[in-house]
Chain A
């Protein structure tokens, strides 16, 4: 496990890249750009294109952050991988439902369920 980043904490668990978002507020352009750059570096080095994003600590999310997630999801799908969100609380969950991004981005309750979706594990 490493934690060389300012906005994320990364671990690799059995074919999954688990990324914990450390910011409570993912709202302003600078923070979002920096998170995106850190994710770019993680994915450049990652052997797996299957990423789980942990939202446990996130309390606010802006439309720009949603854009970053859509871009990340598309890039992972281009690599035959995928993105799954875990521990998305309310009212962040409402943001995903209002924007209908719950149809594009998988959101589940825990890592086991995320692994099942991304890797097809039982």
Chain B
């Protein structure tokens, strides 16, 4: 890993595909500049994609005109992401475990589970419309 200046940015975006991709691309570029490696890049991209998708699909019930707040902070030793939507939130303990035998063939409900698996530390902030994700290589 190289020792580069920490990079941080905050966005308020519409929850549409173009705006989400613009943020994802900027974060990917910052990850490349920080030289954190492919494993980190994969984990962070997956987490950000899933968090944004959850914000639009569940937080905003598919309404792409509503605003999503995104924060990203990347240094040579850590990555921090925050995604907040305008929805009413949810209780993460109410999400069925997608890895339970009885849920393996259900087609949805794996986003949060993947985020938790690939990021080091994940917190859903009450009332559940903000997710904070940290990756520490």
Contacts and interface: CB of A to CB of B under 8 A. Distances in A.
Give the interface size bracket for B toward A: 20 to 34
A79 interface: no
Interface residues of A, number: 23
11 contacts: A28-B17, A28-B20, A28-B53, A29-B53, A62-B46, A63-B113, A70-B106, A95-B114, A98-B99, A103-B104, A104-B104
Nearest to B117: A98
A63 to B, nearest CB: 4
B46 to A, nearest CB: 7
Given A60-B42, A98-B117, A99-B114, A28 B107 contact: no
Contact of A104 (B45, B46, B105): B105
Interface in B18-68: 20-21, 39, 42, 45-46, 49-50, 53, 57
A74 interface: yes
Interface string B108-130: 11110110011000000000000
A98 B45 contact: no
Interface of A: 27-30, 59-60, 62-64, 66-68, 70-71, 74, 91, 95, 98-101, 103-104
B98 interface: yes
Interface of B: 17, 20-21, 39, 42, 45-46, 49-50, 53, 57, 98-99, 104-111, 113-114, 117-118
Contacts of A64: 53, 108
Contact of B17 (A30, A98, A101, A104): A30
A98 B108 CA distance: 15
A101 B42 contact: no
A60 B53 CA distance: 15
B110 A91 contact: no
Given A30-B17, A91-B42, A67 B108 contact: yes
A66 B107 CA distance: 7
B50 A63 contact: yes
B43 to A, nearest CB: 8
Contact of A74 (B45, B105, B118): B105
